[in-house]
Amino acid sequence: MTTAGRPPTLEDVARAAGVSRATASRVIAGTGYASPAARGRVSAAADRLGYLPNLAARALVRGTGVRLVIVVSGTAVSVLDDPYVDRVVGAAARVCAPYGLGVALHWLPAGEPAGLRRLAEDRGVGGLMLVNTTEALLDAVPRELRGRVASIGIGSALVPSFDVDNGGGTAAVVRHLYRTGRRRIAMVTGPRWLSCSGRSVRAYRRVVRDAGLPVRLVPGDFTASSGRTAAREVLARWPDTDAIVGISDATALGVIDRLRGDGVQVPGDVAVTGFDDIPLAAVTTPALTTATHPVAEIATAAATAVLAGRPVPPTTVYPSRLVPRASG
Amino acid sequence: MTTAGRPPTLEDVARAAGVSRATASRVIAGTGYASPAARGRVSAAADRLGYLPNLAARALVRGTGVRLVIVVSGTAVSVLDDPYVDRVVGAAARVCAPYGLGVALHWLPAGEPAGLRRLAEDRGVGGLMLVNTTEALLDAVPRELRGRVASIGIGSALVPSFDVDNGGGTAAVVRHLYRTGRRRIAMVTGPRWLSCSGRSVRAYRRVVRDAGLPVRLVPGDFTASSGRTAAREVLARWPDTDAIVGISDATALGVIDRLRGDGVQVPGDVAVTGFDDIPLAAVTTPALTTATHPVAEIATAAATAVLAGRPVPPTTVYPSRLVPRASG
DNA sequence: ATGAAAGCGCTAACAC
DNA sequence: GTGTTAGCGCTTTCAT
């Protein structure tokens, strides 16, 4: 039975419950003392009136901000086009909904951490999630942000990290190729300055060297088209290559596309693996052997940490799990 | 040269510019009179101080809300898992950033439009974007939302529509198949109650009938696995089928997967087409013939319409463009 | 064209 | 435990 006109305010609830606004506030916000009796009357009144706290008002007085900003750093604004970013944003937006918060998406030009300052000073910013970050950027995180920032990727003393065990995943993929008989395994890498790429490359090097196999690295940038280019380069430089490890699923699909176009059988002549397990990796032909990462789970955990504001461990590592399919 | 401590407020700017807070407000918000001189001094002061309006405060006094809610209706919360939803959320989050707003993501159980009421009454909600909506739901949109709501899909008198010309796209795909010699073209459909699916099916029927070809419809639900199931059903019922039109790219990839698994050549024996042009349609093997839709552009336009609050045409139709690739 | 003043709805000291 | 009170930072009449 809502009163027509304006939505009910805390004042209305307090009046209906026969208590002061302060008491109503304590009950609704769940902070501070209130007798069971008052508690019950206030809750009942709130329910009956269909009361919804005005979060702008709350944010104003508490200075807590009204949005969670996802900051993706990279050399070009096109880093935001990555479907991976959309998955993170989508997951965060789901977490935010019940808190009455929203998610905004910003690109931070690599090497220009000044933007972080601006965000830290913006009173509307309730928290920050860093995606694809670098050590330089982590060093530039203003101290005021402590407890309101998390990183999907590497972290720092100030910034808790929610990360995938890229090294372990890559190692599992390479070992799988070895186990299935591949002996000349090349890798298409990502930008060297990205730590996640670095860890994958190191893991590849380690496994390959331990097995006494040759190291064959070709640069890429996570895209399908870099995979296409890299595929030719690999076979031009080392024609006897029998497996190619892509740094991402898109890269791997690019590799496969070029290989088949050039008459090379996948996985017959060359096995190809990806990394990430994007939703469609399972339905491509051949289905992609890759490593799967709980992106939504990670983003959810990071967003929850930022919103809840409770202390979190400095590093939470999520497993990267091999998904053997047809391509390698 | 920011003062240490708290970020500057409008009061600080006004003082620095030697005007009253009211005048500073008029200049910053761009509303109301102000002499060029005052205008200049205020802007300069704001720049110098690195002033950022506190949007919570503004939202509080104007009652404009602090977040854009994306409402996806469907029978299960899993509708939010669709990468398509993530693309919409990502695009909206980009649009919101400069406005100081955020995006939240809600699932609305099909047939329970009461949730809309609640959202409309929540003062924190600045605007609504409906995704995957139905006529029943559009009818339930509260009048107070006028001007603050848009639909990606069908619209109503109250809700402007930003939609793809599904019919045109599907017709283009089917005609393409016809042009390339296919004469027994089946279609895997989506849920009948979704208007976008309905329009595609009608377009298929029309083109096929006009060409004097048989109508072959099999139900699906947009997923890859429904494509797998449907592929077998099609060939069981009509073994001479030489083309299958998928209602989505995922469906098409499922169809292809099953077909190849069953030893059917694609596109040799059966051409397969998708719909949507997801990022990876270009790199699968065979690359997917599909119709491409400017999802990000549509979401951007819808979000902009909601945020700007300016009147928009009741319907904006975006073209669905055939992308002929290898699969059909 | 500008300033003074009154709130928007809420929380948090602080007194009772 | 509960009420009183003083703002949070901004916009917006209403005088001037």
Q: Which residue is nearest to nucleotide D2 (CA to C1')?
A: A23
Domain identity same for B74 and B216: no
Say if B326 falls within a structural domain: no
Is A254's Cβ below 8 Å from some Cβ in B? yes
Domain identity same for B141 and B239: no
* Whole-number Å distance between alpha carbons of B274 and B259: 14
Domain identity same for A77 and A45: no
B188 and B227 Cβ atoms separated by less than 8 Å: yes
pLDDT tier at B1 (50, 70, 90 boundaries)? Answer: very low
* Whole-number Å distance between alpha carbons of A226 and B81: 28
Write a three-state SS string for B162-220: EEECHHHHHHHHHHHHHHCCCCCEEEECCCCCCHHHHHHHHHHHHHHHHCCCCCEEECC
- Closest C-alpha to A203, from A247, A244, A169: A169
Provide the pLDDT for residue B11: 93
Per-residue b or e along B144-154, where b marks 16 or more CB atoms closer than 10 Å to that residue's CB: ebebbbbbbbb
Token pair for B222: 């947009």
Between B67, B122, B250, which is nearest A67 by CB? B67
Provide the pLDDT for residue A251: 94
Between B83, B97, B285, which is nearest A257 by CB? B285
Number of domains in chain B: 3
Provide the pLDDT for residue A1: 42
Phi, psi of A139 (to 5 degrees): -65, -25
Is A7–B282 a contact, with Cβ atoms under 8 angstroms apart?
A: no
The region that residue B24 occupies, defined by phi over 0 for left and psi between -120 and 50 for alpha, beta otherwise, is: alpha
Q: What is the CATH number of the domain that holds B258?
A: 3.40.50.2300
Provide the pLDDT for residue B197: 85
Is B264's Cβ below 8 Å from some Cβ in A? no
DSSP secondary structure string for all residues of B304-324: HHHHH-----SEEEE--EEE-
Domain identity same for A252 and A287: yes
Say how far A279 CA is from D10 C1', in Å: 45
**What pLDDT, in 10s, does the model give residues B8-58?**
999 999 999 999 999 999 999 888 788 899 999 999 999 999 999 998 999
* Whole-number Å distance between alpha carbons of B86 and B278: 12
Domain identity same for A153 and A226: no
**What pLDDT, in 10s, does the model give residues B205-261?**
999 999 999 999 999 998 889 999 999 999 999 999 999 999 999 999 999 999 998
Domain identity same for A191 and A147: no
Question: Containing domain of residue B18, as a range?
Answer: 10-51
**What pLDDT, in 10s, does the model give residues B307-323?**
987 889 999 999 999 99
Domain identity same for B94 and B23: no
Say if B108 falls within a structural domain: yes
Say if A326 falls within a structural domain: no
Domain identity same for B212 and B266: yes
Domain identity same for A72 and A106: yes
Say if A131 falls within a structural domain: yes
The predicted model scores a pTM of: 0.89
The region that residue A50 occupies, defined by phi over 0 for left and psi between -120 and 50 for alpha, beta otherwise, is: left
Provide the pLDDT for residue B5: 66
Domain identity same for B198 and B274: yes
How far is CA A208 from each of CA A193, A194, A205, A230, A285, rounded to the nearest angstrom?
22, 21, 5, 19, 27
Domain identity same for B45 and B116: no
Say if B139 falls within a structural domain: yes
Say if B314 falls within a structural domain: yes
Provide the pLDDT for residue B2: 42
Is A104–B105 a contact, with Cβ atoms under 8 angstroms apart?
A: no
Residues in a beta bridge with B181? none
**Interface probe, candidates B86, B99, B307, chain A, greatest A C-beta count within 10 A:** B86
Enumerate the nucleotides of strand D whose atoms come under 7 Å of any protein CB.
Answer: 1-5, 7-13
Positions of chain A with pLDDT lower than 50, given as ranges: 1-4
Domain identity same for A88 and A199: no
pLDDT at position B280 over 50? yes
Q: Flag residues 37-76 of A with CB < 7 Å from strand C.
A: 51, 53-54, 57-58, 60-62
Say if A328 falls within a structural domain: no
Say if B57 falls within a structural domain: no
Strands of the B243-246 sheet, one edge to the other? B216-218, B185-188, B243-246, B271-273
For nucleic chain D, which protein residues have CB less than 7 Å from any of its atoms?
Answer: A 18-23, 26, 32-35, 37-39, 57, 60-61, 63, 123; B 6, 9-11, 21-22, 25-26, 28-29, 31-32, 51, 53-54, 57-58, 60-62
* Whole-number Å distance between alpha carbons of A310 and A129: 15
How far is CA B279 from each of CA B9, B169, B295, rounded to the nearest angstrom?
44, 18, 11
Percent of all residues in chain B with a pLDDT value above 70, rounded to a whole number: 98
